[in-house]
Structure 1
């Protein structure tokens, strides 16, 4: 269980929690896309992504994506960024056949992603259809454009913390008392865990 859930449910956090995750709000993704392209572009790409049967996690009317402690992005986020990064020809091609890719309940998400990439890819990779493992499919989606988008999202999310660096927060955490400064302590644990995951996410594309 992640630190945010531990704190909310049980009132404590764990440093270096291997089950910790960070959330990337869909709103942040659309904000990035709108700033890079346009709002209309962003809405259209999200619409196609939804029409293909994808969605993020939901909580209290908010939609978000999870990134694991070791920096692994949720597959649905990678698919969305992949669709957002497609050039107009590949995107139009995907839109034209998207109806044929919808509603196949017997197809698992890995097979679904393989179909999307097969349609949108300008190069017909013979090995695509043989992919059956999640790590392999994620690598398939990690194009240069998708990696660049992940780094931009990480930077946008990190900017929410202000000017403090990860090392600054680690130092403050070491000097903070979990007893007399309980609220600050748990806040710093969350921030350090969050920033560690963000850094790992950036390294995924290096």
Structure 2
């Protein structure tokens, strides 16, 4: 009897796997990196609906298939509504967040629980950004990707370094060398003191600013 049910589990699993692939194909998504929180919730619901019929003998396959296609209909319906209703789109997908503007960090997000400066440093480094003076605009998209617009080489300005070998607080007061606030990226042409207060964010740590051109 157990052997027969093991064979049935294999059969059920194959059927539900094919159904899941079909539903995902019909949903129109091509990759996991494009998923929003709403879509992650849909995927989790689909996983739960598909899992039970695979190994629970008392749950008919038809029930699981019905749930999966019901979820698909709900997903398609809500997606169509969110295209027409901006507030619904923002609730489900969230908003894009400005990270860097004109070579400086956007500090209005400093108290957000999701804001991690070091994480954005890493993302920018992955795009061959050496310092913020190379970046005109950086936007965190709703799918967690980072979109970056760069200054042309001739317009690159002094900016906060992003790599550890240069992202270091100054120990002595530099002469005639621009420094960048290590928190917001504001550049001062000349500091009056090592612990000068940044007029933009009120922090007191500074690093030597760079103005090297971007190597793509």
TM-score using structure 1 length: 0.24
Provide TM-score, normalisation by structure 2: 0.23
Q: Which has the higher strand share?
A: 2
